Structure 1
Amino acid sequence: MRQHHLVASLLSLGLLAEVPLSHANNKSLVFCSEGSPAGFDIAQFTGGTDNDAAEPLYNRLTEFERGGTAVIPSLATRWDVAEDGLTYTFHLREGVRFHSNKEFTPSRDFNADDVLFTFQRMLDRDHPFTRAYPTEFLYFVSMGLDKNLVSVTKADPMTVVFKLRTVDAAFVQNIAMSFAAIQSAEYAEQLLKAGKPSDLNHKPIGTGPFALQRYQKDSQIRYKAHEQYWEPSQVKVDQLIYAINVDSSVRVQKLRKNECQVTLNPRPADLAALRADPRLKVIETPGYNLGYIGYNVQHPPFDQLKVRQAMDMAVNKQAILHAVYQEAGQLAMNAMPPTQWSYDTSIKDAPYNPEMARQLLKEAGVKDGHEITLWAMPVQRPYNPNAKLMAEMLQSDWAKVGIKARIVSYEWGEYLKRTKNGEHDVALMGWTGDNGDPDNWLGTLYSCGAIGSNNIAMWCDPTFDALVTKAKTLNDREARSELYRQAQQRLKQEVPITPIAHSTVNQPISAKVQDFKVSPFGRNTFSGVSLAD
């Protein structure tokens, strides 16, 4: 990196006085991020922006290998599973240090008490910390862990035992996800005594490779290397800076000027120029994602199957695929991507048929000119690179069958909060898989237990729910797959969503960035990443 480029970048961020120029050649990495996190207490958030912001700060008991879906040890060095599949014993890593900040310096290393605090506050609504700092643990609840996790206990200072009610075939994968980031029980106790428990969200303390220095909403997040990190070979930059800008074209300009070295979610129209720039690389990977339309079945007339069928068959998917995704999209017919094991290849779309759609709406008693709200995401995502354009095309499609759609949007955090509350009629949404398991799609997005978190269709179908609930308790993959195939058929019949596309992920980075791995789960991780001289 040439020094004057970094100086310009730091001046634009107001950071020059705080970053020594001795680090300018290869020890400061700038990531052009696309949004502000709602906070850093990642147990209560589900958005990709929130996960990215928390990722440098924390470890989990288990984690996913960088760039892959395999589970590897992290704060637990190994684990044992009882023969009945209901008891998991985790053996913890020695010598792990938490971060410090102006208010807190840890007096001890990580131990079992930290694991107990992390999970018990999610499990027990009467936990003192949860009473003092009321939060919703959306992932924990949407995956049914609030009902299935019986207890988390300490066998000794470095051994923790989890007991389940029923077998959960994806349990080890689930606790490798961001929401299970291990918090400091000692820090939480100090915050509770000081009457400041919400500082857990604003002044986070973790064991991760980087510690938070400063967060300025809609501008920047600054991290510094954790000098006592338990795996020092994974910390290869001294400063990690997230420069926040919601405009994809601005992020691309910054990357091309070397004002950042990694960005995300480029517009399809920008890809050719990015690939042609010798100073850059564009890493291309198959998308483990889905962009879809969710119909709120608790808002009439979407409680009627005929209405949902009509809306579905009135969507000109091919036109959307061409205009919105351009060369980076694959038509979606199912509720999860074809790269997911147990995917049912026999599922097909109802044909595009506006005339039949109009007839179904008439049979359902929906009058011509009926008004609905159509919510459009304010951010670019691999699963939806241009939600505004998609919404406008849907507005036109549905106008042809007599539905008048008013497009609504909010800031991303507000959008997620309001859709979880079910304020929308119809909403654009999407998902990038979190752990490689089918339940992370079918259970997390469409189950009864996911209403109020990730189930924006607000759809609760007993037949579907019984299938995905049973599948989760089996360890035999083929037996699980058969149940999941039946669940996919049921969901397709009931039309709580219209799948639109799976997109190819294109990750632009500077050619000087070394060992950056694209996560199949859509996470941006900077452990092990460095910059060439």
Structure 2
Amino acid sequence: MRKKWMSGVLTMALSTVLVLSGCSSNESGENTPAPAEGNDPPTEAVAQDTMIMGRGGDSVALDPAIVTDGESLKIGHQVFDSLLDYKEGGTEVVPGLAESWEISADGLKYVFKLKSGVKFHDGTDFNAEAVVFNFNRWGDPASEYKFEGDSFDYYDSMFGPEDGRVIKEVKATDETTVEFTLNQPQAPFLQNIAMTPFGIASPTAIQEKKENFKSEPVGTGPFVFKEWKRNDSITLEKNADYWKEGLPKLNKVIVRSIPDNTARFNALQNGEIDVMEDLNPDDLSILEGNSELQKIERPPFNVAYIGFNFKKKPFDNVKVRQALNHAVNKQAIIDAFFAGQAEPAVNPMPPTLWGYNDTIEDYPYDLEKAKALLAEAGFPDGLPDPVTFYAMPVSRPYMPDGKKVAEAIQADFEKIGVTTNIESPEWATYLDDAKAGEKDDIYMLGWTGDNGDPDNFLYTLLDKDAIPGNNRSFYVNEELHVLLTDAQKEIDQEKRAELYKQAQAIIKEDAPWIPLVHTTPILAGKSNLKGFVPSPLGSESYAGAYFE
């Protein structure tokens, strides 16, 4: 709905009231005189109450527990609440559905006191038993509510695989108290609990909808799911009974999928959408010159990378991986495609995150060194067979145009005798293929931090426990595994930081990736959009957004 349309409706309604008044009698039997022409009382402007968001790709599923892609989690952020939350615009943990918590001295027991009076969108009561139901569903491989094709990759990544679970038991001690017992201390436990994949779902809805829950989500969040038109739009409506007083401020949110960045920006300029993600860096000057629009910067907290599939030869050979690291001109890519909104990536985590190892030097762009390493690996004339190179089909905050960047890398690889065939299947298929590791030899992906902890980059993406899951390279290093699991158990942050620095040194030498860039993602919106606060974690609540 637009302001002009709403004002027109009010004017028509007011005119109708006046006409009807003129046809009725007052107490004295006189007709009420019609207002003089041109003297209609002014109508009060009505603020726009629907926000249309434009993004680069559709969701894969709407149950946040079974996905790992950011597009799905953006919707999950609106429909679900987690026990804890992050401070607006940052990564500090604050209360969510749990209003307080206590931690035992040994770090093995967490007791959460829950908010009372909260209901799921279907009217089911939120309580401690609902929390237990959700965590048991995620943690039990034999759960009857783990439906065909589903996997709880985030749970496995953050709380350990089946044979090494961090969480031992979750139990309700009363209606509003839930107790977690751990098998071992986990330093980022609270940071993990706050993540969107661990949003609490209605047990009733899961039991009734079963497999359909992934497309008909029910949570306690500020917006209620209404409709999903695949590859087009998702419609959410205000949760009138939301437990946060005064929120949400909008009555409706429509999230549209517009894959092409330029088409998305044109839609914003034409008034078809109100806010958009992933502005083309080349369009920044146009945005800044338009007084009816505003630039919105997301705090940088990401990494884009090229991953090597260790299941495919010769990428199990470290010299081949190091050679290709030397063959990518990162600065040229940044200059050509990022318009100054990125910096070269050296490590698999951003330099703004504590524990970053700034003593590590990048593989310099050196084609002769790359050729020499290939020769040492047994390929003096380059690789004999074409390499299947998966390039992202959608824009992401860390990668505005995956295909064009892939073409630039393809040209560099060609100079050292490595021929690539670029493939870009649709987004859901792309993610499934990369997870299976059967079709791609190398692949392009990226990651926006979920919770403000180095564990969420290093362990989540590169530890052996994340196979199958977010470790799409199928990279295994036992020494690295020990460091990362020790860092999870260590409470002292300085000691944890040292462990993570050692881990980054191992990863640099093994070269499972080519870290490409860290970006400052740019969003754009109408100038009268207020209360929209971008999160460094890649998705934010729309509850506080409104239009002046």
The verdict on a shared fold, with TM-score over 0.5 as the criterion, is yes
1:80 to 96, 99, 102: 102
How far residue 6 of structure 1 moved from its aligned partner, in angstroms, is 8.6
Corresponding position of 1:42: 64
Match of 1:224 among 237, 250, 259: 237
Alpha-carbon shift at residue 65 of structure 1 (Å): 1.6
Secondary structure in 2 aligned to 1:322? Answer: helix
Q: Distance in 1 between matches of 2:258 and 2:4?
A: 22
Letter in 2 for 1:280: L
Shift of 1:159: 0.7
Measure, in 2, the Cα distance between the counterparts of 1:322 and 1:112.
52
Mapped to 2, the partners of 1:24 and 1:260 lie a distance apart of 18
Aligned to 2:31: none
Distance 2:66 2:198 in 1: 10
Q: Over residues 30-72 of structure 1, what are the superposed CA-to-partner deviations in whole Å (9 max), with x where a residue is unaligned? A: 1112221112111000111001122110100001122111111
1:66 pairs, out of 80, 88, 92, with 88
2:348 paired with 1:330: no
What residue number does 2:454 align with?
A: 438
> In the aligned structure 2, how far is the partner of 1:327 from the partner of 1:181?
36
Partner of 1:301: 314
Report the Cα offset of residue 187 of structure 1: 2.5
SS in 2 for 1:36: coil
The alpha carbon displacement at 1:133 in A equals: 4.8
Query: 1:451-472: CA deviations, max 9, x gaps?
Result: 2211122101011111111011
Tell me how far 1:489 sits from its aligned partner.
0.4
Instruction: Determine the structure 1 residue equivalent to 2:526.
Output: 510
Partner of 1:175: 193
Structure 2 residue 175 is matched with structure 1 residue 160? no
Matched, 1:488 2:514: no
Q: 1:524: how far off?
A: 3.8
State whether structure 2 residue 479 is matched by structure 1 residue 463.
Answer: yes
| Distance in 2, Cα, partners of 1:229 & 1:171 | 27
Output the amino acid matched with 1:151. Answer: E
Does 2:111 correspond to 1:89? yes
Q: Could you list the per-position Cα deviations for residues 71-115 of structure 1 after superposition, in whole angstroms to 9, with x for gaps in the alignment?
A: 111110101111100111111100101113xxxxx3x42111110
Cα distance, 1:2 vs structure 2: 5.2
- Aligned-partner Cα distance in 1 for 2:174–2:546: 38
Distance in 2 of aligned mates of 1:5 and 1:510: 17
Q: CA deviation at 1:200?
A: 1.4
Return the offset for 1:128: 2.4
Amino acid at match of 2:296: I
Amino acid at match of 2:75: A
The alignment status of 1:136 with 2:151, answered yes or no, reads yes
Does 346-355 or 207-216 show the bigger shift? 346-355
CA distance in 2, matches of 1:493, 1:403: 21
The answer to whether the aligner puts 1:201 opposite 2:223 as a matched pair is no
Q: Which residue of 2 aligns with 1:11?
A: none
Tell me the SS of whatever aligns to 1:186.
Answer: helix
Aligned residues: 506
Rounded to whole Å, the distance in 2 between the matches of 1:516 and 1:182 is: 24
Is 1:356 the counterpart of 2:369? The answer is yes
Match of 1:151 in 2: 169
Does structure 1 residue 126 correspond to structure 2 residue 126?
A: no
How far the C-alpha of 1:444 sits from its partner, in A, is: 0.5
Taking structure 1 as reference, are residues 6 and 318 closer, same or farther at Cα in structure 2, changes over 3 Å only? farther
The DSSP-based 3-state class of the residue aligned with 2:369 is helix
How far 1:276 sits from its partner (Å)?
Answer: 1.0
> Of 395, 420, 440, which aligns to 1:380?
395
SS at match of 2:490: coil
Aligned to 1:402: 417
Cα distance in 2 between the residues matched to 1:5 and 1:505: 33
Q: Match of 2:145, SS?
A: helix
| Distance verdict in 2 for CA 1:286–1:238, change over 3 Å | closer
**Distance apart, 1:186 and its partner CA:** 2.4
Structure 1 position 54 matched with structure 2 position 66 = no
The one of 479, 484, 492 equivalent to 1:476 is: 492
Q: Contact conserved, 2:250 with 2:543, CA < 8 A, in 1?
A: no
Distance 2:299 2:98 in 1: 31
2-side partners of 1:285 and 1:348: how far apart? 27
Residue equivalent to 1:527: 543
How far apart, in 2, do the equivalents of 1:3 and 1:154 lie?
48
CA RMSD of aligned residues (A): 1.7
Q: Secondary structure at the match of 2:285?
A: helix
State the secondary structure of the residue aligned to 1:395. Answer: helix
* 1:188 match: 206
Deviations 1:217-259 (CA, angstroms, capped at 9, x unpaired): 1111111111111113121011111122111111111211222
- Give 1:347's aligned amino acid: I
Letter in structure 2 aligned against 1:40: L
Instruction: Give 2:433's aligned residue.
Output: 418
- Residue 274 in structure 1 maps to residue 287 in structure 2: yes
State whether residues 223 and 236 of structure 2, in contact with CA within 8 Å, keep that contact through their aligned partners in structure 1.
yes
8 Å contact kept, 2:160–2:465: no
C-alpha contact 2:302 2:449 (8 A) present in aligned 1 = yes
- 1:311-340, Cα deviation, whole Å (9 max, x unpaired): 111111221121121211111111111000
- Whether contact under 8 Å (1:5, 1:259) holds in the other structure is no
SS in 1 for 2:399: coil
Task: Provide the C-alpha distance between the structure 2 equivalents of 1:266 and 1:120, rounded to a whole number of angstroms.
Answer: 40
Please point out which of 389, 393, 397 is paired with 2:408. Answer: 393
Distance 1:255 1:5, change over 3 A: farther
CA distance in 2 between counterparts of 1:60 and 1:378 reads 31
Tell me which amino acid in the other structure corresponds to 2:245. P
Identity value in percent: 37
Q: CA deviation at 1:199?
A: 1.9
Q: Is the 8 A contact 2:307 2:473 kept in 1?
A: yes
TM-score by length of 2: 0.89
Work out the CA distance in 2 between the residues paired with 1:339 and 1:278: 32
Contact preservation (8 Å) 1:383, 1:503:
yes
- Contact in 2 for aligned 1:144/1:449 (Cα 8 Å): no
Once the two structures are TM-superposed, the CA of residue 143 in structure 1 deviates from its matched residue by 2.1
Long gaps (5+) in structure 1: 8-21, 101-105
Query: Does the Cα contact within 8 Å between 1:23 and 1:238 map onto a contact in 2?
Result: no
Q: Larger deviation: 284-293 or 432-441?
A: 284-293
Measured in 1, the distance between the counterparts of 2:5 and 2:373 equals 60
Taking a change above 3 Å as real, the CA distance of residues 23 and 241 of structure 1, as seen in their structure-2 partners, is farther
Amino acid in structure 1 at the alignment position of 2:198: A
1:252 is matched with 265
Task: Note the C-alpha offset of 1:362.
Answer: 2.0
Paired residue for 2:465?
A: 449
8 A contact 1:133–1:197 mirrored in 2: no
Amino acid paired to 1:167: P
What is the TM-score of this pair, normalised by structure 1?
Answer: 0.92
SS in 2 for 1:182: coil
**Cα contact 2:222–2:247 (8 A) shared by 1:** yes
> Structure 1's 54 and 6: CA in aligned 2 closer, same or farther, altered over 3 A?
farther
CA distance in 1 between counterparts of 2:332 and 2:297 reads 24
Question: Counterparts of 1:54 and 1:370 in 2: how far apart (Å)?
Answer: 42
After TM superposition, give the deviation of residue 425 of structure 1 in Å: 0.7
- How far, CA to CA, are the matches of 1:352 and 1:30 in structure 2? 43
